Structures are given as C-alpha cells and as structure tokens.
A and B are shown apart, each in its own frame.
Chain A
Amino acid sequence: MAEKKVPAFQGTKEQEAQLKEVIAKHKDSKGALIPVLHEAQEIYGYLPVEVQTMIAEGLGLSLADVYGVVTFYAQFSLYPKGQYRIAVCLGTACYVKGSGDILDKFKERLGIDVGECTEDGKFSLDATRCIGACGLAPVLTVNDDVYGRLTVDDVDGILEKYGF
C-alpha cells in the first residue's frame, strides 16, 4: 500500500478543532476508536497519517493500533475520495458480465489504482461488492448516478461527461 500516491495533507484548523471535539466526546468511553474514526472520516473524507496520529495521541493509543483497525475495515479509507467517486461493482453478476475489464479501463485512463484518487482530486476509483442492481450488470456508480449494461467502450464517454 505504501507505494500508492497520497496527496499532501490539506487539513484546516476548523477540521482539527472538530476532530478534537470528537475525541474529547468519546475519550473516556470504552471502544472509542471506531466511532472516532467514523466521525474523523466524515470530517476529512479519509484517514491520512496526520489524522490517525492526532487520534492516536488523543485517545492514548499507539499509531500501530489505530492503523490496524483502519486497514481491517473496508469502510475506512487511507486515501482521499475524488469530487467524482467512481465505484465499479465487482459482484458476481457484474463480474461475469465483464466489470473487471471496465475497472481495468478506468485504472488505465485515470492512471490510478483501486482506492486511489487522481492528483487533481477530481476522480477516485473504488471496486465494490454487489450493489443490488444485477439486472443492469455490469453496473457502476459515479456519486449518485448509476450506469448499467456497460461495455469497455462506454468508459471514455462516462469520463467525458464529468470533464475528464
């Protein structure tokens, strides 16, 4: 994972103050880490080393413990999400209909791997489990827009729509 590109941390003073409040709120309760991580991800959109360090210090945990929990749950992200979050379904139905190839095409066009974000912060790419739209397989979402019955050739058109 270390080889993935992480953009420079751009957290603001306001965000930091918010995080400190969250930490103070949960600090004394048992099992504080997971709720704090959830709220921290809402504040920052992701959980970079700077944020995890603040959480570790604030809760009196080791950074290794915090990182262990973050990397255990798919819910938590070490990388920022883009303005447009592309999520390609890799559920069984979509997969047999070729969503793997579609995902590869996005990787190639955007120059990023799954879980990463383009340097301009515009697009991020995720692979998801079944999103329950198997009738439209293969399917993907961009933020709240759903695209179905796709082929590899549709990828360029979708990206164009979002100004790629």
Chain B
Amino acid sequence: MPTTAPPLADATASDSALRRFLHGLPGVDTVGLEARAAALGTRSIKTTAKAYAIDLAISMIDLTTLEGADTPGKVRALAAKAVNPDPLDRTTPRTAAVCVYPDMAATAVAALAGSGVKVASVATAFPAGRAAPAVKLADVRDAVAAGADEIDMVIDRGAFLSGRYLKVYEEIVAVKAECGQARLKVIFETGELSTYDNIRRASWLGMLAGADFIKTSTGKVATNATPANTLLMLEAVRDFREQTGVQVGVKPAGGIRTTKDAIKFLVLVNETAGEDWLDNHWFRFGASSLLNDLLMQRQKLSTGRYSGPDYVTVD
C-alpha cells in the first residue's frame, strides 16, 4: 500500500502545518484554467482515434445508479448491462464498475461474480456526508463486508470550507483504514467547494490522506464534473506523482452524457497527466446515460449508419 513519501510527511503533522501546506500550493487563475480546458476541447478526434477513445471510455465507466428507488432488480439489470453493454456486438468492452449504494452492494457483487467488472459502493453518508463519524465508518464497513471492490466516500465539505483541514484528512485516513483491499475514491463535491484554489487544495489533501482516486462530485448538485475542474485534478495527480512517486486516479462524475464530452475528458487526460492514466485503473467516468451514447457512436463507426435509441438497451 502506498504511503506518503517523506518530503510531504510533515505537511500533515498538525492542523496548522496542513493549512500552511495547502495554502502554499500555487494559485489557480480561473480564466487561464478554463481557457486551457476549452482549448483542449477543440481537439478533433476522428476515425481510428475515435474508435480507440470510445472503447476506452466504455471501459472506464462506473455505471451508476444512486436513487432512493433502487431495487435489486434495477441493480441486476445494470450489472447485466455493464457486463454486456451492447447485445448486438459482443466485442464491446465491459465497463469498469457498477456503482451503487451500500445496501445494494451485495446484489451487485453476486450479479457481477466472475465478470471482472468491479463493484463500487458509495459510503460515508453519501451524498451529504452529514453523519456522525462512527456512522460513516459503519457505512464503509458495511460496503466492504458486502464485497465492494471500491469505496466512493464523500469528504466533509463543511469542515473543509471552515478550514478544519486536519479533520477532513483524519476522516479520510480512518475510512482508508476500513477499506482493506478496496480502493478508495474520495469525492470532493467540487460544486460546493466553489473555487479552483479549493479544488486544488482538496486534491492534495485527499492524496496525502491516501486516496486511490480523487473524484469530482456526487452527481447530486448543480455543478458536477467540468473539463476545468477535471483538468485541475489531473494536474494535481501528475504533480503528486512527480513529488512522491505515488500514482492516484481521477474520476469525474456527473454531467458527462455524450461521447463528445467523454472524448474531451480523455484528451485532457492524454495531454495533462499523460498516457499512464489512459487506463481504467487510473481514470473513470461516473456516469449512466453516457454509456448508451457511446454505444450508438460505436455502432455508427462500425456500420457507417447513425444509430438510434431503439438500438441500445434501456434499463
């Protein structure tokens, strides 16, 4: 298990040390960041590159259902879709994972047994994270016990915004300790952190605490993943690896619905963090409707005809 390398060990020694470290990170100029993200969004990805990108994107999806109305039936249907996204074309890659609430994790584990598709479970009183620490940890233990391969936790945004960084850090460390073999994705809810400076600080805080992935958002607020906030997080994992040798994954979630969007994110990965992240072990999309759009575009590439929603499965 990766541990924080010596150069940064001091950063988490105390609340004030952590604050000094996070506030000492270079600032982010909003206009410049967004302009860079927009410029990369104009890359034109055609033919063979598009085919590669579509299959890669499908393989990176955490196919997600996080609704109060979720049932075992719904989760099983989603699992079937993850394993066999396009019944008309068995060469279609499987998605990376299925992402559910903890009480659905066991159902997902059973449905996906032997498929290679991982089970991700949200935890820590997702999406608000407003529960007692013990409750949050119990939530994680439940999910891990049910067999989840990955835990998507939310940070305490209230603590973060009020400057209690060490509290946020310690909570992540505690959750990580409960994860066992499961990989930990740390959700910042970037829409609530509001500023890019905060997103950069949260990224480093999460990585220092042992996150295996840093993830933009829950999908439950107005602003979720954007090219700019994902670009910023990709810069963070790139810089963190250069300083510590530890590679951390990135997961934009929420609001990525079209193939065009997904390809823009892959361009960001390619030209910011680099090709080491072009793999579903290091980059994921938290999405649901994205998959069908990718499948229709994939069908277009193989048949030359535009597809329609009647030619993909609706679950």
Q: Do A and B come from one complex?
A: no
